[in-house]
Chains A and B, each alone.
Chain A
Amino acid sequence: MNKRLKASAKEFLTGLVAAYRDCGQDLVSSSQRVQGWLDDLAAGNLSEDTFQYLLTSEKRTVDQILRTNTIQNRAAVQHVGDLLKDAIARFVQKI
């Protein structure tokens, strides 16, 4: 196999894996923030209005992570992001 082609494909796949890993870490941090706020809300240390506002802000941050964090694999990450957002929407409905 052409060595240059092989290197190019390997670089692409490495980039793809790195993109998912980076994006995943940012999304885990995001979910931890929301979980912390949920705990504060349950403990009475956070008002419902502020919680709602923080949640809206966090959704915007997640949008930023999904839409701009990974340029090279934007479409793939966007697809995963849409799936995640659907899952989050279902979760929020259950609260």
Chain B
Amino acid sequence: MKRRLLLIGALTIFCGCAALNQARQDPIATNYISQLAGMHLTMIDEFTLTSTNTPPPVSELHSTCRDGNRMFRQAIFYADNISGKDSTRSQALENLGEQFHDDCSFIEKNLKKSDGLSRADADRLISTVTANYNAALNGEKSRNGPAK
């Protein structure tokens, strides 16, 4: 009986601490993640070579990547300075930002080599990038309590 009480006590303290340390879901951060996902996935599609789509030149990719990087910086700045800051939120955005940055280089390489991504490669990339954004959104939604 004593053991059970001790276990329950420990669990309660753990849950209490966890609840106190958790940031709440933030609608602005959620919105940032959704907007970044839209921008990122649109970029992949735009630079995919298909029978109906000829990707724009590299200069346009550079412009898209600059704008995208700026959006990521804004989102990370917001996450770093939000009240009830949670480091996992910043980490989630940094992870996505690194993926975006690497995708810019990957697409540029493909543009120079074969005028754009193939549809099959684009679909493969979209599947993992989408899963990454969904995980980040789930992380935001799983934060304790309702949105502020």
Which of A's residues lie within 8 Å of B, judged by CB?
Answer: 1-2, 5-6, 8-9, 11-12, 22, 26, 29-30, 33, 37, 40, 45-46, 50, 53-54, 56-58, 60-61, 63-65, 67-72, 74
Is A57's CB under 8 angstroms from B129's CB? yes
Cβ contact within 8 Å between B136 and A68: yes
Complex contact B143–A9 (CB within 8 A): no
Evaluate contact between A9 and B11: CB separation under 8 angstroms.
yes
Known: A8-B12, A57-B103, A60-B98. 20 other contacts (CB 8 A): A2-B8, A6-B8, A9-B12, A33-B124, A33-B128, A37-B124, A40-B120, A40-B124, A45-B120, A46-B124, A50-B121, A61-B128, A61-B129, A61-B135, A69-B139, A70-B139, A71-B22, A71-B88, A71-B139, A74-B88
Number of inter-chain CB pairs below 8 Å: 103
Flag whether B102 is at the interface (Cβ < 8 A): yes
Interface size class of B (residues with CB under 8 A): 35 or more
CA distance A54 to B144 in the complex (A): 33
**B contact residues vs A (CB 8 Å cutoff):** 4-5, 7-9, 11-12, 14-15, 18, 22, 86, 88-89, 91-92, 95-96, 98-99, 102-103, 106, 120-121, 124-125, 127-129, 131-132, 135-136, 138-139, 142-144
